[in-house]
Structure 1
Amino acid sequence: MIDLDIDMRQYDCPFIDTTDDVDIAFSAIQWQLDTNDEKLETRLIAKGESMGVLEKGLHELQEHRNMTECYILSKRDNIAEIGTKIEVTNAMRTIQQNGGYITGPFQIEDGRERWHVGFDEDDDEDRALAELERHNEYTVEDRDQFGPTMLFDLLENSDSAMDLLEGCRSLTPTERETFEVASRNGYYETPRGTTLDDLAEHFEISKTAVSMNLRRSERKILQAALTALEQLNGTEER
């Protein structure tokens, strides 16, 4: 299987048009393409910069010419779960007609959309990308090719991957930034490329505060990694 990570800008997509005009983002959690009716039905999480921005974004989405249905399932503060049905866009039709299929959730923000698309053959991929270029703007951000053994391994160990992901998500913004800056600047290399004193100066806080932020982030990530290893060992022993 060929798996593509595509940064896409469609010119007939109501979600992209809405995020162009309003500071709102959409993340798909469920989708179903009806090829006979040429409709895409989705469940999404919509997040606005504020409650007012969310309301404005949802209103614009509902009024879009390519939107068939748009209804709110739940809403709290500046986040809503919505259901939609839209006309199949040119890009969707192109992917489907050339043997492509969706392999992961898509996210839309700032007028662009992140797609995860799969193909079984190189020729299908080449033909689809060539046709996409005629009516859309896109960049292939990443391309992977998996054989059946690797695919089985990915599916078998999906719980381990989720544990690692949740561990990363559990970091606060401060912990995440501190850990990323320290890693990029060689704090974990031998010899170290940066020190606690350097990091304290970078963040304009005390050396003790930097150390605490690093320790908290390290503890969370290590715990997630250990949990993932336990899951991995369990699948290997079956």
Structure 2
Amino acid sequence: MTTTTRFIEVENLHKSYLLPESGRINVLNGVTFSLEAGSTLAITGHSGSGKSTLLTLLAGLDSADHGRIVINNAVLTDMDARSLHRFRTTHLGIVFQQFHLLPHLTAGENICLPLELQGRSCSPDIRHSLLARVGLTARSEHLPGQLSGGECQRVAIARALAVKPLLLLADEPTGNLDLTTGRDVADLLFTLVQQEQMTLIVVTHNQELAARCSRQLHLTHGVLQ
């Protein structure tokens, strides 16, 4: 009999925000799901449905009002800020829609940043290897302002891979790209996820991208369906 490993468990997750103009807004209302190691999951939903908020909680960048998040047997919702930071920087890779590259650092320097923040060495060989994996060996010394949108997202993906994460979180990774470039970036993303045997959660409104995942969940008014 074959058993499966629940790599991620989210139980009864709630999140709300207090807005000055409109009072308290409930964004997530009892979100519950589990995911096996090595799976790919797309979370879809309209703007304002809570997709990015859910990803932010999974990344340990914000705290839930109520509920439980377990990733690889680590209970994120029980961790203090320092423990969350340590877990995030050693086990998670995050790709944002807006790239979030530091404009004064070259592509190679941006890629190495996660390792350097951990006090780890980022040798020229490591930098070259990461650039090669995303097809940007000729762009190592280019600043983000000298790169196209697709190239910037490739740098962001390489940066996320630098720590060899167990889980890759992607928030609208093709949202700022044209159709052809977006498909190229999606091809790269799924190829790397398969090669590295990572678990992937991608938040997207792009149905074509969502369909490439092994599982899809739809978020409506803070509830997964």
**Bucket of the pairwise TM-score, normalised by the shorter protein:** under 0.3
TM-score normalised according to structure 1 size = 0.25
From the two aligned structures, give the one with the greater helix fraction.
1
